Amino acid sequence: MKKLMKNKMFIGGTILLLAAKSALGAGNVINDPGLHYESGDTYRSSELSVDVFGTASLGKYTLEHPSNARVRHNTQLGAGLGLSYFITRYLGIGADVYSENTTGALVDSASANLILRLPLGKSGFAPYVFGGGGRQFDMAQAWFGQVGGGMEYRFTPHVGAFVDVRGVLPDEKKYYGVGRLGVRFAF
C-alpha cells in the first residue's frame, strides 16, 4: 500500500514538473506593453502564488532515532495545496492544507505562516524561512506552532519549484517534521 502511494506521488510530481517545464519553454510573452518584466523581476511585491505539493512527515521517535529502516517504514506521504501573498519582494503571508490519510478527515492539517525570502540576484533562487501555526484535524486534534525553511527556484516569473522542511510542535509537545516538494504558480 505504501509503495503504491509512493509511486502515485512520484508520477504526480513528474507530471507537475513536466507542466512547469512546458511553461518554461513558452517564454515570457506579454501583449500589454505596460506589463513587462526585467530579467531581475522574477520575485515581485504584490505577488500571489498557488502551490501544489507532496508531503513526507516523520514522528518524534524517528527524528530522534533515525535509521534507514525506521525512516522507510514510518514516513507518511501526502499531498496539499497552498496560497501565498507577498506584500513586498521579501515579506509575505501564506496558508496551506494537506492530507496524509485517505481514510480520515479530508484535511489533516491547516496552517498559516509569515514568510521571509531572500531572492539571490538574477539566479532564480530564493531561500526562505517561515513561522506560524495551525490546526491538526486527523489522528489527534491539536493546535500547533511551526518553524521552517526552504528554497525556491523560478523557471519563469510565473512558474517555480520549491522544497522546504518544517518542525511542528503540537500543544501536546510531541513534535514531528514535515517536508514538502512542489510547484509554485505566481501571479
- In the 3-class helix/strand/coil scheme, how is the chain assigned residue by residue? CHHHHHHHHHHHHHHHHHHHHHHHHHCCCCCCCCCCCCCCCCCCCCEEEEEEEEEEEEEHHHHHCCCHHHHHHHCEEEEEEEEEEECCCCEEEEEEEEECCCCCCCCCEEEEEEEEECCCCCCCEEEEEEEEEEEECCCCCEEEEEEEEEEEEECCCCEEEEEEEEEEEECCCCCEEEEEEEEEEEC
Is residue 53 situated within a structural domain?
A: yes
User: Which range marks the domain in which residue 85 is found?
Assistant: 2-23+45-186
Instruction: State the pTM of this model.
Output: 0.75
In a domain, 40, yes or no: no
pLDDT tier at 175, thresholds 50, 70, 90: confident
Q: Is 65 a member of any domain? A: yes
- Which CATH number characterizes residue 127's domain? 2.40.160.20
- 37 lies in some domain: no
Is residue 126 in a domain?
yes
| Number of folded domains that form the chain | 1
Instruction: Report, as an integer, the average pLDDT of 8-15.
Output: 52
pLDDT surpasses 80 at 38: no
